[in-house]
Chains A and B, each alone.
Chain A
Amino acid sequence: GNSVTQMEGPVTLSEEAFLTINCTYTATGYPSLFWYVQYPGEGLQLLLKATKADDKGSNKGFEATYRKETTSFHLEKGSVQVSDSAVYFCALSVNGNQFYFGTGTSLTVIP
């Protein structure tokens, strides 16, 4: 079946620290992979995506590389800011319209 497993939180970092949030997946076929971010009181927003193996998605300083050999799509940022505090969801899509989400990882960045 199709599923996403992401590291449990909460994660608390100091400003300017390096961030990694792990995500692994199982899928039938060739999925696209996504990271969504949810700020307090808001809906999910697409952060970045990758549609095939070895693609790197990037946005707002965040990056994730589609690793088929390890079935992973880890989210990284070199220097986090207080404004990055949110819940981050890893997701996969198969057939263009079936989406599966992880349970989310809460990130808090302290000044």
Chain B
Amino acid sequence: EAGVVQSPRYKIIEKKQPVAFWCNPISGHNTLYWYRQNLGQGPELLIRYENEEAVDDSQLPKDRFSAERLKGVDSTLKIQPAELGDSAVYLCASSFGGLAGTQETQYFGPGTRLLVL
């Protein structure tokens, strides 16, 4: 079974340019997460989708970040315009949301390493 797929793996852009990341979750996983991981830190949630609905975007900097998951499968995260401080690894993860109250395991993609110059 294929894991979580992300592209590109690496991206170098100049500040003020736009950038987009793509994620395809594990087949059948209805919950999708985007995280940002700064160097030497743990992942921090940006947005969580249940199917096509964004149910937690409280940590997403909405002035420059946007995300979509139109058909409830793959997802795109966009930054426009990028700033120097956006340099980080952007991780996508997915899980199968089972019964309410059950604890589900997340599966992570390899991440996109972004460098803003």
A positions within 8 Å CB-CB of B = 4, 31-32, 34, 36, 41-46, 49, 51, 89, 91, 93, 95-99, 101-104
Residues of chain B within 8 A of A36, CB atoms compared: 108
Q: Is the CB of A103 within 8 A of B48?
A: no
Interface of B is mostly: loop
Q: With A and B bound together, what is the CA distance between A72 and B100 in angstroms? A: 25
Residues of chain A within 8 A of B8, CB atoms compared: none
Given contacts A43-B4, A44-B91, contact A97 B40 (CB under 8 A): no
Q: How many contacting A-B pairs (Cβ < 8 A)? A: 60
Q: Which of B40, B97, B104, B106 contacts A103 (CB 8 A)?
A: B40
CB-based nearest B residue for A102: B42
Q: Which of A31, A43, A95, A104 contacts B40 (CB 8 A)?
A: A104
Q: Is the CB of B56 within 8 A of A98?
A: yes
Q: With A and B bound together, what is the CA distance between A58 and B108 in angstroms? A: 20
Residues of chain A within 8 A of B101, CB atoms compared: 95-96
Nearest-neighbour CB distance to chain A for B82, whole angstroms, equals 22
Q: Is the CB of A99 within 8 A of B98?
A: no
Q: Is the CB of A101 within 8 A of B43?
A: yes
Judge if B109 is at the interface, Cβ distance under 8 Å: yes
Q: With A and B bound together, what is the CA distance between A96 and B102 in angstroms? A: 5
Given contacts A32-B103, A43-B109, A49-B105, contact A97 B48 (CB under 8 A): yes
Please, what's the 1-or-0 string for B80-106, where 1 marks a CB less than 8 Å from any CB in chain A?
000000000001010101101111111
Q: Is the CB of B111 within 8 A of A103?
A: no
Q: Which of B40, B43, B50, B98 contacts A44 (CB 8 A)?
A: B43
Q: With A and B bound together, what is the CA distance between A103 and B4 in angstroms? A: 23
Q: With A and B bound together, what is the CA distance between A44 and B35 in angstroms? A: 11
